[in-house]
Amino acid sequence: MIKRMTHVTIWVYDQDEALEFYTKVLGFELKTNAEFAPGKWWITVSPKGQDLELILMDPRSVAKDPADAELVRELVKRGVLGPGAFTTDDVRGTYDELRGQGVEFSSPPTERFYGIETVMRDNQGNWFSVTQPTQGQNQH
């Protein structure tokens, strides 16, 4: 029986730039940075204290068809992919702090039925909900 998810892939077109963004700007911890095949890197990061690791993966490292890899890379660059949601205890403070560091947001913090939400983009084009859940909402 499956017990839990341990890794989730975030597609990136430049692993070095993505690693810099996630560790230096967002303050995530580097978990793994290892070459798994010649010129192919397995890089994982996590928010501090979180078990789930985010794999910063260039699709060229795993795609069987180079055309498929380029399609995914283009979708990332165009900002089509929204891989997930992060939570915070203070979405307005997080918004102000990250905006001050040059992070792009597509919306300011806005009241929703589930809490206060803003939407940010990483430096690759992926977008994420950043939410301060309403008290009593599931915060997993």
- Give the pLDDT band of residue 139 (cuts 50, 70, 90): low
| pLDDT digit string, tens, across residues 62-79 | 889 999 999 999 999 999
Give the pLDDT of residue 138.
Answer: 56
Identify the CATH assignment for 82-140 out of 3.50.50.60, 3.40.50.300, 3.30.565.10, 3.30.720.110: 3.30.720.110
CB atoms within 10 A of CB 27: 12
Q: Do domains 1-79 and 82-140 have the same CATH topology?
A: no
Q: Is 102 left (phi over 0), alpha (psi -120 to 50) or beta?
A: left
Q: What is the pLDDT of residues 3-46, one digit of tens each?
A: 999 999 999 999 999 999 999 999 999 999 999 999 899 999 99
Enter the pTM of the model.
0.90
What's the chain's average pLDDT?
94
- The domains of the chain are located at 1-79, 82-140
Q: Which of these CATH numbers, 3.10.180.10, 2.30.30.240, 2.40.50.320, 1.20.140.10, describes 1-79?
A: 3.10.180.10
